[in-house]
Structure 1
Amino acid sequence: MSQKAVKTWCLRLLPVLLFFISFVTYYCSYAILQSYGGTSKSLNSSKSLCGGWLTQKKWESLNFSINRQTQLFLKLEDFFWREHLSKLPLPYGIKGSELLLLKVLAVIANYQVPASIENLECRTCVVIGNGFAIKNSSLGSIINKYDVVIRLNDAPVRGYEEDVGNKTTMRFFYPESASFNPALHNEPDTLMVLVPFKQQDLRWLKEILYNEKRVSKGFWKPPPQIWLGDFSKIRVLDPHFLHQTADRLLQIPLHPKSKQPVHPTTGILAVFVALNYCDVVHIAGFGYPNTKSQRHPIHYYGHDTMKSMKNSYHDLNHESEALKRLEDSGAILYLHPHL
């Protein structure tokens, strides 16, 4: 075959070769994305894909204009070794609450996450909401496989293990949502994470820690007067995360003009914390019933209905839209069908 003929054949085969390379590249990329975002994805595939450029790309795609922060909890050193400036009072800053925090942090003196989690190259996390959607889901065994399981408020575990599992790494709460005996629905090593929405929340914790006279004023619901938890497992969430959830994710005005302010729920806050700390973030039990009936239950437990949310301090529709944006971007994945 002449040199000219060889050259002609090479030119003819070149488009076919380029098409083949493009097809293989597309197929591999599609397979990887499907394995990450598909609803049938196993936890092992999550581990193989988390970390590195993929996690960073997902964070950057959210356009929060802030860096991921993995130091979750306030620590005593913040108040001694450098000036802890805060322009806002709680819930978005600590202005005016410094002395209360000093007393609280002096007793608990803990701000770490267990080394077994902190040292992981890849952290798979699931945030379990309290919504009715998780009822009869049979997700319990799947939930227990995650490195970090975050639960909210006083949501029970005992009696609901088949749907919600029984592993709890962290439980976010505030005084009105606290259980007097955390051992009932948590593990011995569960971190009890106080989310301070107001100064009175820190005062409640101080009174518990120092066994002082309890003051019940300033709460929308009486908090426990006795708390039987392990003080060494208490952590205080840095208000930075509530601030960024409100400002960046939900775009809530930090200086509202209305008499009734709107604050993020502990659920959407926990999702934002997980996005900062974890490499893979999945959620379950989020969302409220899409019904006009005020009698429809809203939790997988208890008897609260949609009617109880009528005068809420939260914008539930706005939060639902934010979760949809996170899902569409690939930052989070629901473990069950949802509206």
Structure 2
Amino acid sequence: MVSLASPTQKRQTQGSIDPILALTRPDMERVNDLILSMAGSNVTLIPEIAEHLISSGGKRLRPMLTIASALAHGYGSGDGHVKLAASVEFMHTATLLHDDVVDESDMRRGRKTARTIWGNQASVLVGDFLLGQAFRTMVEVGSLEALAILSDASAVIAEGEVWQLAAAKKMTTSEADYIAVVDAKTAALFSAAVEVGPVIAGKGAAERTAMREYGRNLGLAFQLVDDVLDYGGSAADLGKNTGDDFREGKITLPVILAYAAGSEEEKAFWREALEDGANDDAALERATALIRRHGALEATIRRARDYGARAYEAAETLPDSAGRDAMLGVVDFCIERLS
């Protein structure tokens, strides 16, 4: 288990998501009802697959952030924030369905992936259906600016998926290339999810920029923390089995840093393990030892903390409110999963 946080790095929020859970609970009940409605179809397979993933135990952090951002900016009436939050969750769910097919993943959050139950074709097509429902619901909000933000994010996420596919299992992947993929695949949706808050609340460019920076940096920190936990955390913190990234041949930041610092013999091990698929339990044990030897976990944590600090600073520009406190707490919760 990674344990690199110090008491002086803890903030008053203590890294809890309780504030955002309490703040968004009434609206998230409406979001959940809308999600079930949006997943409905006369084609039986669609709600079956959608329900399988929707009920898999995720925190639904992204739609909660949409609600919190809208409330923090004074959005006071209407259901636009609820519809956008549900759309954000459907975009995320569609991405998970597509990712599991591309990555050939068998398990997610301790359950079989949809592709292992219903097949790749059904998973991809249901993912497309969910994206369609997301955009249909966005249109109902009546904000062209919000629609533009989320549609741009959808295109960026797709580009990131293709970029990741092109770079998959290539030990020549640089840190800059990896961060660019994370920026597109993960951070783009976090960023869009919170930027629509000030938009529907009628705020201006400064508020939008602050939320865009908050979401982007939170998304980057979130992924780097996951990268660390895969080699030094617990399944409970990660939401999947530790070592899964390695077993699936994923090249994450700790691997990139350890590879760059390694000897020629170590570089040959990494190529054999991740490019050629020789990634059994013994190889995972050695990989973890090499990552620790070269301080790759600590280096990744430093980067995650830096992105977290930037997200925190962006949220601090918000007026003092329960929404602001909730968004600050999410940053600390993300980082303190390392402690």
Normalising to structure 2: TM-score of the pair? 0.31
Which structure's residues are more often strand, by fraction?
Answer: 1
Normalising to structure 1: TM-score of the pair? 0.31
